[in-house]
Amino acid sequence: MTDNSPREDDYPAMNETFDRASPFADDAGVKAGPRPDISDEEADAAFAEVVTVDGVDPVAARAALADVPWEPGAPKPDPILVADGVVRRFGGLTAVDVDHVEIQRGVITALIGPNGAGKTTLFNLLTNFDTPDAGTRVFNDKNIDNVAAHNIAGHGMVRTFQLTKALSKMTVIENMKLGATGQKGESLFRSIFPFMWRKQEKEIEERADDLLIHFKMDHMRDQFAGTLSGGQRKLLEMARALMVEPEMVMLDEPMAGVNPALTQSLLGHVTGLRDQGMTVLFVEHDMDMVQEISDWVIVMAEGQIIAEGPPASIGENTAVVDAYLGSHHDSALDLDQEL
């Protein structure tokens, strides 16, 4: 999984600290961080190990989508997440009103829709960051209606935020290490006895470093996350989410504000996750990217799901065209320009 996309280094230097991390560190065969000895191949292998979800065949999962009807709420052969009758109102505004939706395991599903369609609200409801007025959510055959938001990660589902939440006054590596679940040293009592958690901490740090190398952020590991650029923060947030070792990641506009070169490598990372068996649900406005990497597309408008289908089917769907451009529009969408 080595890609030839430009490194993060191509990004304009943000500040002194960033300058000092040599953009040519890699070429010179020298890397920052505690594992200078690791090659890209080893890092990729380590990455694969970190993100692999056992028992999922991504190829079969994708193939199985061929039989799914192209209609809102279509049942999937192997759903990992099912939501039923989920409604969320803000005063008089019904932000989300989803009758039924299923997310297929082991594939990349894109969630698209005009601004204000309710995508972020739906994300919040699916991850219990917000409580619906009605409805049930089932993840991995377990009802998660009453699971607290902080326990969702433990169930194997982790989300990122539309407004990136890098923890500014913590370093990149600290951000990463925070993501690991089940840390012994996170108990107040054990915290004062370092011997009880030092070994685990070292393993976590190695895992974090492997991910950073894979995301080509290893040279920034000891910088404050607050010094990163917007795009770098998106990368960090995604890498940090993977520290949870989830079965499913939910990315809210992971590509927003990211430069085209970096976008390509982000897309590579997302498909890479899927190829290791992870389920990906992501919100995106750029139809090119949706076409490029998603296996299935769900379209929302005014809180409801109005269409579903493989990416190629979406452009011709009249409901979608109406939602984006208003009704009485008689041509198919020119996806390159309009969305």
Partner 1 sequence: MDYQAIIESLFRGLIGERFIVFALAAIGLNLHFGYTGLLNFGQAVFMAAGAYGLAMTVVTIGPAVNRNTGLNMSESTLFWVGIFMAVVVFPLVLALLMGIPTLRLRADYLAIVTIAVAEIFRLIARSPSLDKWTGSSDGLTGFTSTFYDLSPFTTTDRYFFNLFTGNQFFLVLVGWSILALGTLLCWLMIKSPWGRVLKAIREDEDAARSLGKNAYSYKMQALILGGMFGAVGGMVRAVGFSVAQPDNFITDVTFFVYVALILGGAGKVFGPLVGAALLYAVLDSSDTILRQLVANDYIPESIMSGTQVGQVRFMLVGLGLILLAAFRPQGIFGNKEEMALDDR
Give the footprint of partner 1 on this chain (CB under 8 A): 17, 127, 129, 148-154, 158-161, 165, 167-170, 174, 177-179, 181, 183-188, 190-192, 194, 197, 201, 224, 226-227, 240-241, 243-244
Closest CA to 113 of 313, 256, 322, 274: 322
Place of tokens 């506009």: 253
SS3 138: strand
Q: Min. distance of Cβ 204 from partner 1 in angstroms? A: 8
Pick one of 116, 154, 268, 310: the residue that binds ligand ATP (CB under 6 A).
116
Residue 335's nearest CA partner among 297, 281, 279 is 297
Q: Which among 4-12, 87-95, 146-154, 305-313 is the span making contact with ligand ATP, rule CB under 6 A?
A: 87-95
Instruction: Say if residues 113 and 323 touch (Cβ distance below 8 Å).
Output: yes
Residue 81: its H or E element: strand 79-90
Q: What does the per-residue mask of binding to ligand ATP show for 95-114, with x meaning CB under 6 A?
A: x-----------------x-
Decide: is 90 part of the binding site for ligand ATP (CB under 6 A).
Answer: yes
Which of the 8 DSSP states describes residue 56?
Answer: -
| 142 contacts 155 by C-beta, under 8 angstroms | yes
Residue 205 CB, nearest distance to partner 1 (Å)? 11
Name the residue among 164, 123, 129 with its Cα closest to residue 150: 129
Interface with ligand ATP, residue 236, by CB under 6 A: no
Residues 37 to 76: which contact ligand ATP by CB under 6 A? none
Closest approach of Cβ 249 to ligand ATP, in Å?
A: 17
The beta strands (E) that lie in 275-321 are given as 279-283, 296-301, 304-309
Q: How far is the CB of 146 from ligand ATP (least distance, A)?
A: 21
Instruction: Decide which of Mg ion, partner 1, ligand ATP, none touches 151; Cβ closer than 5 to 8 Å per partner kind.
Output: partner 1
117 binds, among ligand ATP, Mg ion, partner 1, none (CB under 5 to 8 A by kind): ligand ATP
CB 198, min distance to partner 1, A: 10
Single out the residue of 119, 214, 221, 234 in contact with ligand ATP (rule: CB under 6 A): 119
- Least Å from the CB of residue 113 to Mg ion: 9
Neighbours of 70 (CB within 10 A): 14
> Would you report the helix, strand and coil content of the chain in percent, each value rounded to 5?
40, 20, 40
> Can residue 120 be called a binding residue for Mg ion (CB under 5 A)?
yes
Cite the DSSP H helix spans in 27-166: 40-51, 58-64, 119-126, 149-155
Site for Mg ion contains 162 (CB under 5 A): yes
- 13 with 215: CB under 8 angstroms? no
Q: Are 276 and 214 a contacting pair, CB within 8 Å?
A: no
Binders of ligand ATP among 315-334, rule CB under 6 A? Answer: none
- Does 121 interact with ligand ATP (rule: CB under 6 A)? yes
